[in-house]
């Protein structure tokens, strides 16, 4: 029996006067990688920030792990096992890698041992141990992405929200990172919601796909069917 | 005794009015006004007092001297971010007062005292009563000047500089000149007030123009109301009268009265900031009779024939534009053409350099190599506001209307060549400026009607919905009368109803003869509107043609959606 | 003649260094507050002044023994500092929206003005008899140079405060969270770090630093209601020049420079000039920076990233 980690129903959200999402539904099960696609400005980032509690929904509901979290503050949602990696400025550039990783666990669920977690995470990305004292801002884009992913994992999340992790990275680096993500979903039964413009690579690891356009969901399909499409221009 | 306080109150009010023009209208947070008044005061003390110049002549000298130093400060302030302005003006005023206190020729710590025997137009100025008229005249004069400037088109630009200097510059106003100008004017006025103050006081001392005075006047401006000159007068008089009121009304001992006054000042500041941050009297806005124009949504026009694109002449040509930031190539050999009366789209994945391209075209970023010609005229090297006058304007992805102003004022700000934006024109007698401004308002109303927002002309922007602000933004952009419009994601962030309206509007703008280049991520919108499309990735233009031609390219699909 | 000049130079250097360390500590505290919370904390002068006054109140009126009274004074500074943030700055900033920086500055000026005037009303405008038989400095002469043990304790305290702050930031979880908010507040929020708590912590630290410095200063020199005025301005100078996004240790050379400049200026210029000299130098320095359009790492966060506008 699959556990529904994330259930979004009729989500309406925006910032200031801007209404970005006009009522969307989506679902992520444990062990699943779901990709949310769409052009820039379609509302993907607003969607995951609403899930995290960083944006207050104006309508609809969000449930994480079966519990209604629509009005919960970020601290509580993070402490309960959700982590978000933003698309830009996703590390603390003037802090060391070690500091960055420890900050990832700043609000970890009670009972997690940070040192143990650090060791696990450093095994996943060995470069982090080698360069623990180096400032995160001095790393290359791909390495910074790894730092940000490691930060998210430090908090032992059950639900991982990733905003365009492939942005600005070489395809080989993206493959490595995406490979790790698939491993995590399979072995640790994480639920991953992946926001991507890089449709092809996202579909390599995804189970299901949603397409958002100008704030409305226009498609939900299995990744297999998506992969078989000739092109994706009409979705953007 | 009361007359004495009244004299002081009038002068404090005058100083507050001039500071409000700088801080309230133009948003330049300066604390140097007491020092400028000090320049005026010391000028009077040495010229009229020691060297026995005629008072009026000395006052003129005081104004000029203070204005000159103010210009210098303004020039320096331009190179500093906002937070440093406070520090800079703080350091400057402390340094200046310190200098005054140090030179023996300026009387050292004790200052220059014993100024007497002043007269204006034959009238002897001896006692407090004699000074009543000069003080009142000073207030009226300062008020009249500041009101004229503040409530004029020049003042509108000042408000633009206050709210969003980048946008104001992008609408074709030379924010640089306005900042320096307003520093010069307000410091000159402060010098005038300081000169009269020293005359009235009979001395010019460092403590008379010290930092606490600057803070007091600052408080008067904030409490009275940002950009409301009546508020400054009210607050100036009221706050000065607290001390005598305490002494006479409540029988507080005179030494304590000054202190209680300070406590009240401070408490008042805190209260106002918590309860009513904009100050007691609100800022006033330009209201216009909304003409009986039906707020009609412009009708959809038919799409253009592809052949028409090739026939149109090239209005804007960019050739081999490149830009590096350190090691990062932001733009590489960008060449593009915009043809008259057509819509060109710029598409591409995130980070492709589309915004950089806009920045290079509009002078916000200076290209390392390459040229941009508009109707044959070279744009590279021109100041951004000059480029707007030449006929090229851009919008911002996040709209950036001036929230505290009405829709009408926002659009009026964009209208070029306004008589009232020139200081020399403002002080010519006659109703010329008022008439010119009315004409500008009518023009602005036409643009608001074009976008279907005429009914909201007098509504402050922060009361509008996002879709409405996008419409007003287009009106504002059209009002610049620029031939070429660069629209940054006009269709983003709105639902399908507004999206359709925006698409119609952009098409109508083309039908009206303008040339448009838009950056858009929603390819549906691009398909509907664009006559020609450029595809950008990693800082380069790698393909061009119609949207269908681009979407049928496998290579492009790979670039957009990622490699297998 | 030469030896006389050397002796004077040495004395001035020592005095300048001691005073400079005080400025460094104050600057480091203010830089922390400005860099992390973006509040223009003018009322730093008040948290500075309140410490010796509260201590005096404790031992004069409440009969608390001298040294514990100083501890209470220190506590008063910390409490006032935290209350200012929680009860005034934060609500004002929330209400003011995008005008938060100006609103908080004005509020801070108001608090400072009212607070100092209130102290003058309650405790008189003159200086306080801030001493105790158990608290008199002993003077030492080393060669031609005169100093007191209190002065050295003052310097040591200031140094300890700066180094302690640097260690807090570098080694503790709280310090890490503070640096996180300073470095990338949006990301910090996304990780669930409470910006409110971090702000309060910074104000507590600033209160501690200002209080400790004021107490030593009061023991060596005088305690008067306006003692905070020029001190806080020096604090701003050091904070801005050292940079509000950098390590507190950077305040040390800047503070020392300011302290030494102030003292050396007295060789050639009369006493009245010394403070003025600092401001003149600062004004000139800022003017030069403006000319080159480059400035130290001081940024008050903006909600939108603005493109670089070249004013050609």
Q: Are strands A82-85 and A159-163 parallel, antiparallel or unpaired?
A: parallel
Task: Inform me whether the pLDDT recorded for C168 exceeds 90.
Answer: yes
Question: Cβ of A16 and B564 within 8 Å?
Answer: no
Q: Are strands A159-163 and A191-196 parallel, antiparallel or unpaired?
A: parallel
Average pLDDT over residues C191-203: 95
Question: Cβ of B384 and C88 within 8 Å?
Answer: no
Q: What is the pLDDT of residues A87-124, one digit of tens each?
A: 888 999 999 999 999 999 887 665 567 888 888 888 87
Residue of A171, A214, A231 lying closest to B496 (CB–CB): A214
- B430 φ/ψ sector (left φ>0, alpha ψ -120 to 50, else beta): left
Task: Inform me whether the pLDDT recorded for B365 exceeds 70.
Answer: yes
Q: Using the CB atoms, write b or e for A203-228: b if 16+ within 10 Å.
A: bbbbbbbbbbbbbbbeeeeebeebee
Q: Which residue has the tokens 């920030």?
A: A49
Chains near A with 3+ CB pairs less than 8 A apart are: B, C
Q: Measuring CA to CA, which residue among B242, C194, C296 is closest to residue A73?
A: C194
Residues of C in contact with A91 (CB under 8 A): 184, 187
For residues A93 and A82, what is the distance between their CA atoms, to the nearest angstrom?
A: 23
Q: Which residue has the tokens 């930060």?
A: A151
Non-local CB neighbours of B76 within 8 Å, separated by 6+ positions? B88, C286, C287, C290, C291
> What predicted TM-score, i.e. pTM, was given to this entire model?
0.86
Q: Which residues of C touch A (CB under 8 A)?
A: 173, 176-177, 179-180, 183-184, 186-194, 245
Residues of A in contact with C184 (CB under 8 A): 89, 91-93
Residues of C in contact with A106 (CB under 8 A): 173, 176-177, 180, 191-193
CB B230 within 8 A of CB B20: no
The number of residues in chain B equals 564
- Enter the ipTM: 0.90
Q: What is the pLDDT of residues B305-327, one digit of tens each?
A: 555 787 888 999 999 999 998 87
Q: What is the pLDDT of residues B232-243, one digit of tens each?
A: 999 999 888 887
Sign (positive or negative) of CA dihedral B55, B60, B63, B69? negative
Q: Measuring CA to CA, which residue among B424, B478, B423, B422 is closest to residue B447?
A: B478
**What local confidence, expressed as pLDDT, does residue C307 receive?**
36
Q: What is the pLDDT of residues A167-216, one digit of tens each?
A: 777 788 888 889 889 998 999 899 999 998 788 889 999 999 999 988 89
Token pair in block for residue A28: 């992520």
Which H, E and C letters describe B322-367, residue by residue?
A: EEEECCEEEEEEEEEEEECCCEEEEECCCCCCHHHHHHHHHCCCCC
DSSP-derived 3-state class of residue A53: coil
Q: For residue A47, how many C-alpha atoms fall within 13 Å in the half-sphere facing its CB? A: 37
**Nearest chain C Cα to A98, which residue?**
C176
Q: Measuring CA to CA, which residue among C16, C44, C18 is closest to residue C235?
A: C44
Which of C46, C101, C286 is the best mutation test for B, with the most CBs of B within 10 A? C286
Question: Cβ of C272 and B77 within 8 Å?
Answer: no
Token pair in block for residue B267: 């408490």
Percent with pLDDT over 70 in chain C: 89
Task: Inform me whether the pLDDT recorded for A154 exceeds 60.
Answer: yes
User: Which segment, A134-143, B420-429, C270-279, is predicted with the most confidence on average?
Assistant: A134-143
Task: Inform me whether the pLDDT recorded for B86 exceeds 90.
Answer: no
**Interior CA angle at B320 toward B318 and B323, to 5°?**
100
DSSP-derived 3-state class of residue B7: helix
Residue of B95, B219, B266 lying closest to C280 (CB–CB): B95
- Chain A nearest-CA distance from C185, in A, is 9
Question: Cβ of B266 and C237 within 8 Å?
Answer: no
Non-local CB neighbours of C222 within 8 Å, separated by 6+ positions? C127, C128, C130
* Count of Cβ atoms closer than 10 Å to residue B399 Cβ: 21
Residues of C in contact with A95 (CB under 8 A): 176, 179-180, 183
Residues of B in contact with A201 (CB under 8 A): 562-563
Residues of C in contact with B398 (CB under 8 A): 304
Task: Inform me whether the pLDDT recorded for C41 exceeds 90.
Answer: yes
Q: What is the pLDDT of residues A47-66, one digit of tens each?
A: 999 999 999 999 999 999 99
DSSP state, B67? H
Kind plus residue range of the DSSP H or E element containing B369:
strand B369-374
Lowest-confidence region among A185-194, B294-303, C102-111, C153-162: B294-303
């Amino acid at each position: 029996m699959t556990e529904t980690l994330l259930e979004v129903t009729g989500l309406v959200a925006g910032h200031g006067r801007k209404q970005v999402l006009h009522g969307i539904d989506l679902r992520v099960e444990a062990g699943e990688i779901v990709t949310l696609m769409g052009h820039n400005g379609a509302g993907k980032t607003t969607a995951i920030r609403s899930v995290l509690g960083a944006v207050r929904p104006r309508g609809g509901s969000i449930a994480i792990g079966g519990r209604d979290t629509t009005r919960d503050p970020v601290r509580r949602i993070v402490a309960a096992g959700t982590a978000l990696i933003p698309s830009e400025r996703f590390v603390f550039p003037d802090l060391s890698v070690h500091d960055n990783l420890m900050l990832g666990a700043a609000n970890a669920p009670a009972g997690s041992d940070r040192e143990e977690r650090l060791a696990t995470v450093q095994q996943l990305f060995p470069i982090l141990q080698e360069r623990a004292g180096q400032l995160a801002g001095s790393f290359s884009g791909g390495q910074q992405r790894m730092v940000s992913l490691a930060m998210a994992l430090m908090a032992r999340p059950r639900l991982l929200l990733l905003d365009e992790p492939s942005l600005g990275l070489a395809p080989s680096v993206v493959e490595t990172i995406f490979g790790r993500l698939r491993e995590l979903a399979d072995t640790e039964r994480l639920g991953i919601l992946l926001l991507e413009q890089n449709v092809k690579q996202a579909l390599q690891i995804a189970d299901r796909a949603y397409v958002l356009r100008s704030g409305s969901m226009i498609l939900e399909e299995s990744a297999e069917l998506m992969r078989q499409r000739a092109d994706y221009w009409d979705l953007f | 005794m009361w007359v004495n306080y009244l004299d002081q109150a009038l002068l404090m009010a005058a100083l507050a009015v001039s500071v409000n023009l700088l801080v309230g209208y133009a948003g330049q947070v300066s604390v140097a006004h007491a020092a400028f008044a000090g320049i005026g005061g010391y000028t009077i003390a040495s010229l009229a007092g020691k060297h026995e110049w005629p008072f009026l002549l000395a006052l003129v000298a005081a104004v000029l001297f203070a204005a000159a130093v103010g210009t210098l400060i303004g020039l320096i302030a331009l190179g500093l971010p906002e937070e440093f302005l406070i520090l800079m003006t703080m350091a400057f005023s402390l340094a200046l007062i310190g200098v005054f206190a140090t030179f023996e020729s300026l009387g050292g710590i004790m200052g220059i005292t014993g100024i007497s025997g002043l007269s204006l137009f034959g009238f002897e100025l001896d006692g407090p009563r004699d000074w009543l008229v000069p003080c009142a005249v000073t207030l009226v004069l300062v008020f009249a000047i500041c009101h004229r400037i503040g409530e004029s088109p020049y003042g509108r630009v000042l408000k633009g500089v206050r709210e969003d200097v980048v946008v104001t510059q992008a609408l074709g106003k030379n924010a640089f000149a306005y900042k320096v100008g307003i520093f010069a004017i307000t410091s000159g006025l402060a010098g005038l007030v300081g000169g009269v103050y020293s005359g009235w006081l009979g001395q010019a001392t460092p403590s008379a123009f010290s930092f606490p005075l600057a803070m007091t006047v600052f408080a008067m401006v904030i409490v009275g109301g940002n950009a409301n000159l009546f508020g400054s007068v009210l607050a100036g008089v009221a706050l000065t009268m607290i001390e005598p009121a305490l002494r006479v009304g409540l029988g507080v001992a005179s030494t304590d009265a000054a202190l209680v006054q300070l406590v009240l000042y401070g408490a008042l500041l805190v209260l106002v900031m918590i309860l009513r941050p904009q100050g007691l009297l609100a800022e006033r806005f330009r209201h216009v009779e909304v003409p009986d124009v039906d707020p009609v949504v412009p009708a959809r026009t038919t799409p253009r024939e592809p052949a028409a694109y090739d026939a149109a002449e090239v209005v804007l040509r960019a050739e081999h534009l490149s830009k590096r930031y350190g090691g990062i190539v932001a733009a590489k050999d960008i060449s593009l053409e915009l043809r008259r009366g057509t819509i060109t789209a710029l598409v591409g994945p995130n980070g492709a350099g589309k915004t950089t391209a806009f920045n290079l075209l509009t002078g916000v970023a200076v290209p390392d190599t390459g040229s941009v010609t508009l109707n044959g005229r070279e744009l590279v090297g021109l100041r951004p506001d000059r480029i707007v006058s030449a006929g090229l304007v851009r919008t911002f992805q996040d709209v950036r209307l001036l929230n505290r102003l009405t829709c009408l004022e926002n659009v009026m700000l964009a209208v070029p060549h306004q008589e009232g934006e020139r200081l020399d024109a403002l002080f010519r007698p006659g109703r010329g400026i008022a008439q010119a401004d009315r004409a500008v308002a009518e023009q602005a109303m036409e643009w608001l009607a074009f976008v279907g927002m005429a009914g909201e002309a007098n509504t402050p922007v922060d009361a509008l919905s996002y879709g409405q602000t996008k419409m007003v933004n287009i009106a504002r952009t059209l009002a610049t009368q620029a031939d070429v419009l660069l629209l940054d994601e006009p269709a983003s962030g709105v639902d399908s109803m507004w999206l359709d309206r925006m698409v119609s509007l952009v098409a109508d703008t083309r039908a009206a003869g303008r040339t448009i280049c838009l950056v858009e991520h929603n390819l549906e919108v691009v398909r509907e509107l664009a006559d020609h499309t450029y595809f950008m990735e990693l800082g380069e233009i790698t393909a061009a043609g119609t949207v269908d031609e681009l979407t049928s390219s496998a290579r492009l699909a790979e670039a957009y959606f990622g490699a297998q | 003649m030469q030896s006389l000049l050397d002796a004077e130079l040495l004395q001035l250097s020592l005095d300048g260094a001691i005073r400079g360390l005080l400025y460094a500590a104050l600057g480091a505290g203010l830089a922390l507050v400005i860099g992390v919370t973006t509040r223009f904390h003018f009322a730093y002068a008040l948290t500075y002044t309140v410490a010796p006054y509260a201590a005096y109140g404790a031992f004069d009126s409440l009969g608390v023994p001298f040294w514990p009274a100083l501890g209470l004074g220190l506590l008063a500074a910390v409490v006032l500092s935290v209350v200012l943030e929680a009860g005034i700055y934060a609500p004002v900033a929330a209400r003011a929206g995008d005008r938060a920086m100006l609103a908080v500055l004005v509020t801070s000026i108001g608090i400072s003005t009212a607070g100092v005037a209130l102290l003058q009303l309650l405790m008189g405008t003159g200086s306080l008899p801030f001493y105790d038989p158990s608290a008199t400095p002993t003077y030492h002469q080393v060669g031609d140079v005169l100093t007191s043990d209190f002065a050295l304790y003052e310097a040591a305290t200031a140094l300890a405060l700066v180094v302690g702050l640097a260690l807090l930031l570098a080694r503790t979880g709280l310090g890490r969270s503070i640096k996180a908010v300073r470095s990338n507040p949006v990301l910090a929020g996304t990780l669930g770090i409470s910006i409110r708590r971090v702000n309060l912590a910074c104000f507590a630290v600033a209160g501690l630093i200002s209080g400790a410095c004021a107490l030593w200063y009061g023991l060596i020199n005088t305690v008067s209601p306006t003692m905070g005025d020029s001190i806080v301005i020096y604090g701003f100078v050091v904070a801005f020049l050292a940079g509000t996004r950098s390590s507190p240790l950077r305040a040390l050379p800047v503070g020392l420079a300011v302290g030494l400049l102030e003292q050396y200026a007295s060789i050639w210029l009369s006493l009245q000039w010394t403070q003025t000299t600092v401001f003149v130098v600062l004004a000139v320095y800022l003017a030069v920076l403006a000319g080159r359009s480059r400035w130290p790492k001081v940024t008050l966060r903006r909600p939108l990233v603005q493109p670089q506008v070249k004013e050609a």
